[in-house]
Amino acid sequence: MRKNQFKGFKSPLIDNPAIDLLESPKPLKKVKQEDSSCKIGAFVSPLIDKSLSNCESPKIVRKAILDIELSTTPKSRAFVSPLVDKTLGKRSVRKTKANAENIVPRPLKFSILDHEAVIAELLSKAFKVPIADYIPEYSNKTLGIRKILVRRPLHDPTLCNALVLYTPIFKDTDNYDDTNKPVHVVVDPILCNVLRPHQREGVKFMYDCVIGAKGDWNGCIMADEMGLGKTLQCITLVWTLLRQSPDCKPEIIKAIIVCPSSLVKNWYNEFGKWLGSRVTCLAIANESKDKTIELLNTYMANQSARCGAPVLIISYETFRLYAEILTASEIGLVLCDEGHRLKNNENLTYQALMGLKTKRRVLLSGTPIQNDLLEYYSLVNFVNPGILGNNSEFKRHYENPILKGQDACSSDKEREKANERLQELSALVNQFLIRRTSSLLTKYLPVKFEMVVCVKMTQCQVDIYKNFLKSDLIRKSLSSTNGEKGSARALSNITSLKKLCSHPELVIEKINEGADGFENAQQYLPPNYSSRDLMPQYGGKVLLLDVMLAAIKANSDDKIVLVSNYTQTLDLFEKLCRKRGYQYCRLDGSMTIKKRGKMVEDFNKPDSSLFIFMLSSKAGGCGLNLIGANRLIMFDPDWNPANDEQAMARVWRDGQKKPCFIYRFVATGTIEEKIFQRQTHKKALSNTVVDNDEGERHFSMNELKELFKLEENTKSDTHDIFKCKRCVNDVQVKLPPEGSDCTSDLSQWYHCSNNKQIPDEIISRAWDITQTVSFIFHHRSQVVAQEVPDEKKPKEKKKKIIYEDDDFVDLDEECDDSDDEDYK
């Protein structure tokens, strides 16, 4: 069949039982009465030569078509119209003749006019099903035709680009007949055609897990990094299960999506975005108690695939409150978004969810699985209860030997055993855990440059900082042993220092009051210091920011996302914007989801006059898509790397067309660098951390002492710690290893202690102008497309070395003093 000629017309009949008639050799009854030799196959396409040739008269074919038109749904009639009516008659006559006279059939010939007319008609009229909003694909009901018992897949597995999740295998020994023959499970083309290769793989993986194709379990963990489209993959899974199974009926009747309350609406919208009105979702958010109970009861009472909403979207909190209703009867599938919330198997939400009557459990987590074994156990045990044994079995078999082996004074034998158990554990879990990193996105996205910018504090910041560290407050807190309380105080001290790192203005009240730790600090403020007007020049990072913003504004039409941990810092940004006349918007945690959506939409518009989008890293960037901007500044580091990553993933994501620049500011040698180190360490430790906020709570006394120390004479404390061999006297003489990128460890990034060779003109200029930067680590997401021809490569390399040698000489003297100082 010349399929390609009918591209675009395929859909209406694909799932119509009537098409079976075409594929099976059975003739249609009515036609048979008139002419048994005329197969209804002729109807398929006027272009099929052979089947038509059997027809003796075009009239009969026309009659057959008419019969089908009358007896099937309107959609088949719609299909017939564009070509058949006009051409069928003529050509079948020709065919019949050709057969009769036994001449080789001539190739099809339209007159040019005919053809043009057909094309013109096609183009002028969108192909429409006669009934408004009628969705033909998903109904097996037809008008006036007897139900045909032949079992067939819902979508054509042979279609180009079809994603087949299940393929039946038939053996001679099987006793299948038309009533129990398994069928293909094929992802709905409407989704399949938007899935990217890694997403197809993810859907297949999850499907195999939940239907139990891989073992005696039905749960899985989807831990793809942010930006890879976890939501779409899950929607595809849910939609497929709701519609199909090898048994030719839905695999499940109902699915529950449990997520943080801020994402309920998001899930609802995503279902709408991809599936339109095909699926009804019940999203429960902020309903009254009575209403919620009523809705949930109705949802649970519904046991039919045909009515009601099959998908319930509900927050963890609401789920816990109404668990009694939701665990009353069976559910096909439960899907837990931000699933690392379930790392503690003793909390109430965990236990409520465990009570669900479902074996198919999917856990989503963009941040990877915790390296804490017990938490690991909780997550795994949630999706596949019992697979790791009970709590004490797990401890005995895995946790104890593994921990023993990691102990510094363990024996070789213990270490070997630990390794063995660890491998056993990961082999087991990897069967149902899938995780891909966002480096996959490099195929689709423009290059991203990530920079860690060490920014020097100004003199007054340094003085106040040192004064604070010397204060009684700190001395007391470092000598006190009163546990909890001491920790809480440490936290507030950390906050004060972090704020000071940004700008003295953020702690100006304390300075003016002479509050604890800030006694006598006023003397260090410059004489002309005033709070009435923002003075960027007295805060290193703010100064750099100010210059960068101006440079960006003047040299490009780029837009910027500004992220900070503190609302107070955001206030300061606002002050700066007002001072410079920049248009901005600001997203707060308190903002309603609807308002957020509107704001994001406004910002992303290409013609929007908004220049800056301010975001609190705590307000949760989850789901925000800020691709209108291609530069993002993380103004201060958070304890939790996941928070920072969430925020940074806002601009370098699907739909981004420009190269992206991500700047992470840390104040050189200060507590910020230490937080940052801890963050990267935490990430590197297992490359697996999911944790929230915990990092803040527990410090040993030594750690605290380390935190409250200012490394004054350094360009970057972080770089010092590496004892980097690639840099000699502050000049990088050896490039980062080939194949490294911005997901690599910082020690494998580019190291710059001057503003040369930075791939971003903006920060390079700002460095030059402000002299506030002391060091930059930078790397990119991928190799930039311009490949240097092979024979030119060695030359280039040589040139580079010479260049670096020049630097080497330049900087030698200048940097010597930093080496003299011993600051260990």
CB of 679 to Zn ion, least distance (A): 19
Sign of the dihedral through C-alpha 361, 431, 270, 139: negative
Report the residue number, 551 or 721, with the smaller CB distance to Zn ion: 721
Our CB check for Zn ion shows the closer of 751 and 779 to be 751
Smallest gap from Cβ 406 to Zn ion, in A, equals: 29
Cβ nearer to Zn ion, comparing 35 with 807: 807
Distances (CA, A) of 759 to 424, 549, 649: 44, 17, 20
Residue 715 CB, nearest approach to Zn ion (Å): 10
Return the number of the residue (547 or 776) whose C-beta is nearest Zn ion: 776
Which of 60, 733 has the CB closer to Zn ion?
A: 733
**CB closer to Zn ion, 320 vs 751:** 751
Radius of gyration of the CA atoms of the chain, in A: 33
The strand pairing partners of 311, in sequence order, are 255, 281
Q: Are strands 164-166 and 185-186 parallel, antiparallel or unpaired?
A: antiparallel
Smallest distance, Zn ion to C-beta of residue 765, A: 23
Strands 311-315 and 219-222: unpaired
Question: 10 Å Cβ neighbour count for 353?
Answer: 26
Nearest one of 749, 785, 756, 650 to 451, comparing CA atoms: 749
Residues 691-730, interacting with Zn ion (CB under 5 A): 724, 726-727
Least spacing, CB of residue 289 vs Zn ion, in Å: 60
Distance CA(283)–CA(596), nearest Å, equals 18
Piece of the chain touching Zn ion by CB under 5 A; list 293-301, 312-320, 654-662, 749-757: 749-757
Q: Among the residues of 534-653, which ranges form H helices? A: 540-555, 567-580, 593-604, 641-648
How many chain residues interact with Zn ion (CB under 5 A)? 4
- Residue 815 binds Zn ion (CB under 5 A): no
Least separation in angstroms between residue 544's CB and Zn ion is 21
Which residues does residue 778 pair with via DSSP β-bridges, in sequence order? 451, 750
Q: Give whichever of 550 and 727 is closer to Zn ion, judged by the CB atom.
A: 727
φ, ψ dihedrals at 288, nearest 5°: -70, 165
Binding segment for Zn ion among 62-70, 258-266, 519-527, 744-752 (CB under 5 A)? 744-752
As a whole number of angstroms, the distance between CA 256 and CA 316 comes to: 11
Residue type, 429: V
Shortest reach from residue 723's CB to Zn ion, in Å: 9
The percent helix, strand, coil of the chain (3-state, each to 5) is 50, 10, 40
Q: Which is nearer to Zn ion, 645 or 730 (CB)?
A: 730
* In the complex, minimum distance from the CB of residue 452 to Zn ion, in angstroms, rounded to a whole number: 12
In angstroms, give the least distance from the CB of 493 to Zn ion. 31
Closest contact distance (angstroms) between CB of 751 and Zn ion is 3
Q: Residue 612 in contact with residue 626, Cβ under 8 Å?
A: no
Within residues 750-779, the interface with Zn ion by CB under 5 A covers 751
Which residues on neighbouring strands pair with residue 334, listed in sequence order? 256, 361
The length of the chain in residues reads: 824
Q: Which is nearer to Zn ion, 550 or 721 (CB)?
A: 721
Site for Zn ion in 254-293 (CB under 5 A): none
Contact region for Zn ion (CB under 5 A) — 268-276, 678-686, 694-702, 747-755? 747-755
Q: How far is the CB of 730 from Zn ion (least distance, A)?
A: 8
Q: Which amino acid is at 5?
A: Q
CB of 724 or CB of 735, closer to Zn ion: 724
Pair 382, 361: CB distance under 8 Å: yes
Alpha-carbon span 450 to 434, nearest angstrom:
26
| Closest listed residue to residue 376, CA positions, set 325, 425, 420 | 425
Q: Which CB, 490 or 776, lies closer to Zn ion?
A: 776
Can you tell me the distance from the alpha carbon of 675 to that of 707, in angstroms, rounded to the nearest whole number? 8
Residue 697: partners with Cβ closer than 8 Å, 6 or more residues away: 487
Cα dihedral: 238, 241, 243, 248 (round 10): 170
Which residues of the chain form contacts with Zn ion (CB under 5 A)?
Answer: 724, 726-727, 751
